[in-house]
Structure 1
Amino acid sequence: MRTKLLYIIGLWGCLSLFGCGDDDNLSPSDLDGDWYVLTDSEDPLDHLRYTVYQTYGIPVFYNDTIGSQNRGVDYTGLPIIYYEVLNPNYSIESSTEYAKYELSYDRETIIVGVEFIRDEVFPRLVSSKLYPRSFLLVNKLTLNASGSSSYQHEECAYRGMMTSCVSLVEEIGEMTDAEIKRMACEIAAEEYTTYLMENSYSLLETFLNVCRAEVTSVNLYALALTSSSTPPYVDDLEEYGFLSYNKETQYSVSSKRVTTVGERADVVDYVTEVLMEDDEAFETEYGSYEYVMKKYELMKTAMENLKAALK
């Protein structure tokens, strides 16, 4: 038994030595390159993208196929080409097609879109911790886009794990200054909200508690309201402290049916308004709604605290 044990130990030692020798000759496969690194180009659009990347370290894409790689040949001798494709719907937990988009092929308007990201969006993000992994400029963006959904809606921005989609690229050049400012704030709000929800949720507690427990004893978030519900349907959701309704469910004034937004959408709405930095205009529109004004002030405080922590 002792002899057998010594034999096993000796064999294990030899195998370990051979294994270590193999490790010395290991080298990276280069099969997983960094697809998010941009290189300079003589092409005006791609050179502009490179300068933005040099400044912020974040790529702005206009094509969802962001790279390819030859990975040898298959058993028939045909080349194996791998394509890296941005997927705004990528998630560890789900493969549902929530966001659907149409690309733009108008390079002149795409240049305007890249300049918009550079001049209007990045300056509103006070820290690199708020940056997405990349931006993808698209012409049209539809959310809640699965084939079984009856309530799809178009938006200007969507934050995914792989990229943040920015829509309306072919319309930016024709927008007014006010429209450009609001769109930039809506895009930036997606980034702030993601950071707040994932890393600084405690800053939102007081804000969220207004609709969780203060307006009524019922948590109002993502709640279907009808004429017979508790609390009941109201024509103006601002009475309950909301700036918008859930676009992914039925909304009918005639049948008095609406669903309130969830917490994340509510945060996006208010962060957008805070980023607009126009207290007078906000009070003019919402000054008669007690809970809206209270939540606005609470979100201003939350954003001030977040920006201070990020500096």
Structure 2
Amino acid sequence: MNRYFFICISLGLTLLFGCNNDDENLKPAGVGPDWFVIQNKPGRFNELAYQIYSETGMPMFVNDTLGVENRGTDSFGNPIIHYEMFVIDYSIFNQVYRAAAVLSADTTAMVKAAELIRDEVLPRYYREYKPASILLVDTLYAIDRGWSSVQGVKAYKTQEYAHKNMIGTVVGHLSDILKMTEDEQNMWVGRILAEEITDEIQVRYADEVKEFCNVSLRTGTWTWHGESRYADLEGKPAGSLGYDVDYRELGFLEWIWDGVYSEDRLVRRYPTEYIDVAGYIAAVYAYSEERFESLYQDFPKCVEKFKMMKAILAKFDAEMNK
């Protein structure tokens, strides 16, 4: 009995006196800086980004290089420099690149975008559907809008508004933001908000979304979604119905391709189902029903789809705020 007592006492003393002040500073191997903490740095955008981060916890960047760290030297004595990057299309699930961006060099546009996001976007995010960070860029391209990781930007491309990935959401159109009308700014805000919830809306309300998409029915059970239509260089449809139709007549808000396809052809493409749903989610955020009806009074399918999406979002909002 005494032997076990003395063993316990010895172990206790070893643990007690084996600790020192240096041990308090120990940290797990491989743990580096928290790159998503915004530091207080000089400059108009930097100061605003720090204020937004301090008040809301949302990191906002305009540079895809988040930081640099010296990690010692290699076996030859050369410095090991690590660059932490905001990868535009980061995913652990696939290696398909779906987006690319051009960074902004316009501080005034950066500040304008950050202020709009602070005032109009962050307060309206759902807690469950909020990005970890935001990267503001001059121009954002996406695979559905005429960009390819192999071929680059195509002549018929259109710009993307927002693109989410696992480390944050990339927000584009800073190239246009200083020239936007109030309606265009509202749609820009709506597109950013829509990017976070469109996937969930499509899954959660699959039947309602199918009914929504069927407003743009082409024939039978086929809709116009994702359909490409062609014309010659003078704009004469090349045996392809739908090129010279006003997309609003079919219930769409935009072309996602529009321009030169080849040396002898033009192309226009109707939105995919995802872009169509996201566009109307954005419109519901951007416009009152009265305002939307005044803008699209000659296009009943657009008005019908707006009302349908408004009802879907009201249902979603009620479920999120139970």
Is 1:58–1:131's contact at 8 Å kept on the other side of the alignment? no
2:280 aligned residue: 270
Is 1:90–1:161's contact at 8 Å kept on the other side of the alignment? yes
**1:99 and 1:298, CA in 2 relative to 1: closer, same or farther beyond 3 A?**
same
Unmatched tracts of structure 2, length 5 or more = 1-22, 231-236
Task: Kindly state the Cα deviation for residue 70 of structure 1 after the two structures are TM-superposed.
Answer: 2.3
C-alpha distance in 2 between matches for 1:249 and 1:92: 34
Residue 70 of structure 1 aligns to a residue in which SS?
strand
Residue 220 (structure 2) pairs with residue 217 (structure 1)? yes
Is 1:31–1:71's contact at 8 Å kept on the other side of the alignment? no
More strand by share: 2
2:39 aligned residue: 39
Is 1:91–1:161's contact at 8 Å kept on the other side of the alignment? yes
Residue 211 of structure 2 aligns to a residue in which SS?
helix
Is 1:103–1:138's contact at 8 Å kept on the other side of the alignment? yes
1:141 aligned residue: 140
The letter for the 2-side match of 1:124 is R
**1:251 and 1:218, CA in 2 relative to 1: closer, same or farther beyond 3 A?**
farther
Task: Kindly state the Cα deviation for residue 233 of structure 1 after the two structures are TM-superposed.
Answer: 6.2
Task: Kindly state the Cα deviation for residue 157 of structure 1 after the two structures are TM-superposed.
Answer: 2.8
Identity %: 30
Task: Kindly state the Cα deviation for residue 225 of structure 1 after the two structures are TM-superposed.
Answer: 5.5
Residue 130 of structure 1 aligns to a residue in which SS?
coil
Task: Kindly state the Cα deviation for residue 85 of structure 1 after the two structures are TM-superposed.
Answer: 0.5
Deviations 1:251-298 (A, max 9, x none): 89x989654322110111111111123222322343444433322111
Once the two structures are superposed, the pairs formed by residues 227-266 of structure 1 within 5 Å of their partners are 235-247=245-257, 258-266=268-276
C-alpha distance in 2 between matches for 1:178 and 1:248: 22
The letter for the 1-side match of 2:272 is G
Deviations 1:228-252 (A, max 9, x none): 77x9667133343322234289789
Task: Kindly state the Cα deviation for residue 152 of structure 1 after the two structures are TM-superposed.
Answer: 2.8
Is 2:216–2:251's contact at 8 Å kept on the other side of the alignment? no
Unmatched tracts of structure 1, length 5 or more = 1-24
C-alpha distance in 1 between matches for 2:313 and 2:196: 12
Q: Number of residues paired by the alignment? A: 281
**1:232 and 1:218, CA in 2 relative to 1: closer, same or farther beyond 3 A?**
farther
2:49 aligned residue: 49
Residue 207 (structure 2) pairs with residue 205 (structure 1)? yes
Is 1:139–1:168's contact at 8 Å kept on the other side of the alignment? yes
Is 1:210–1:295's contact at 8 Å kept on the other side of the alignment? yes
The letter for the 2-side match of 1:134 is S
